[in-house]
Amino acid sequence: MKKLILLLLFIKTGLTIRNLFISILGGIAMLLFLFIIQFFIGGLDNIEWNNDLIFPIIVGATFALIKFEKPPLNWKEYWEKNK
């Protein structure tokens, strides 16, 4: 049970307002990039908003978090510190 509590505390350290802003801005940047590509390929007639845009949002948010988030310690250091 102690391991589960430590794991949940470790996950909680990653859920911050900074990470939320990074992921939102990354998703928006990926959508803008997608719309720019659609504009250059097909002009103004090809740009549309549909339900398939969740994938670029997830990819943009994931890439932004990977690129800009620097965790203070990894899980091994956290585990050793909180034994």
CB atoms within 10 A of CB 36: 11
Q: Where are the domains of the chain?
A: 2-81
Measured distance CA(80)–CA(83) in Å, rounded: 6
Which tens digits make up the pLDDT trace of 6-44? 777 777 766 778 778 888 888 888 888 888 887 888 776
Measured distance CA(8)–CA(82) in Å, rounded: 13
Which tens digits make up the pLDDT trace of 53-70? 778 888 888 888 778 776
Quick check: pTM over 0.85? Answer: no
